[in-house]
Amino acid sequence: MLWRYCYFGKNEFVGIVKYNLQDRDIIIKSLKYFIQYYRRFNTLSHKFVPPKNKTSIRMVPIDEECIKILQVLKIEQEKANKELGIKNRYKMIFQHYGYAYDVPDIATVNKAIKVMLKELQISPLITTKGARHTYGSYLWHNNIDLGVIAKILGHKDISMLVEVYGHTLEEKISEEFMAVKSLL
């Protein structure tokens, strides 16, 4: 499931356009794959708009599995659209043809996640925002530097992370103190 790559907020994720997969949105760099985020979909104006701030413009790493998922999704989407006689006018990867602007509603996405988690017997049940927070925590507890996590998540610095992940900082600091002590 692509939401495991939770670098993006929901409106950022919707901004990835499928026909740009070969050029602007996914870039092969040193044999590694990246998604480049440079816009978001404004659900009020129903238009693509620039990110909220300059630090939101970023490239984030993905793996070959994600590329394969995107390719399968593109094929399935094109097949469904052809059968239904509809067009993906914004050429979005995450199109929801049942809505006026083809944009997945956050409540619908969260409901789909809830159904999948229940089917897989995974708990606790989380939302897209919770998945993003969990991913940040996962990176932090796998010794990824807070500066790198901030960049991946589109924050200008680590201050937001310190606020959001503060409850885990004390635990991490204790672990690091023990690591320093073992070096003495």
**CATH code, domain carrying 6:** 1.10.443.10
pLDDT tens digit sequence for 28-72: 454 466 677 777 777 778 788 888 888 877 777 777 787 788 778
Q: Which residues contact 136 (CB under 8 A, 6 or more apart)?
A: 6, 149, 153, 161, 164, 165
- Give Rg (Cα) of the chain: 18
Instruction: Please give the pLDDT value at position 7.
Output: 54
Count of structural domains within the chain? 1
Instruction: Please give the pLDDT value at position 12.
Output: 60
Instruction: Please give the pLDDT value at position 46.
Output: 78
Omega into 61 within 30° of 0, i.e. cis? no
- Residue 85 clears pLDDT 80, i.e. is over it: yes
* Mean pLDDT lowest among 86-95, 114-123, 146-155: 86-95
Instruction: Please give the pLDDT value at position 24.
Output: 46
pLDDT tens digit sequence for 113-148: 899 899 999 899 988 888 888 888 888 888 899 999
pTM over 0.75: no
- Residue 162 clears pLDDT 80, i.e. is over it: yes
What Cα–Cα distance (Å) separates residue 82 from each residue in 79, 86, 92?
A: 5, 6, 15
Q: What is the torsional sign of CA 18, 22, 28, 31?
A: positive
Report the alpha-carbon angle 53-59-63, nearest 5.
Answer: 145
Measured between alpha carbons, how far is 112 from 10 in angstroms, rounded to an integer? 14
- What's the domain range around 118? 2-183
Instruction: Please give the pLDDT value at position 180.
Output: 92
Instruction: Please give the pLDDT value at position 11.
Output: 56
pLDDT tens digit sequence for 6-27: 555 655 655 555 434 444 445 5
159 versus 100: which is more confidently predicted?
Answer: 159
- Residues 92-98 have a mean pLDDT of 75
Instruction: Please give the pLDDT value at position 45.
Output: 82
Nearest to 92 by CA among 37, 42, 17, 40: 17
- Residue 173 clears pLDDT 60, i.e. is over it: yes
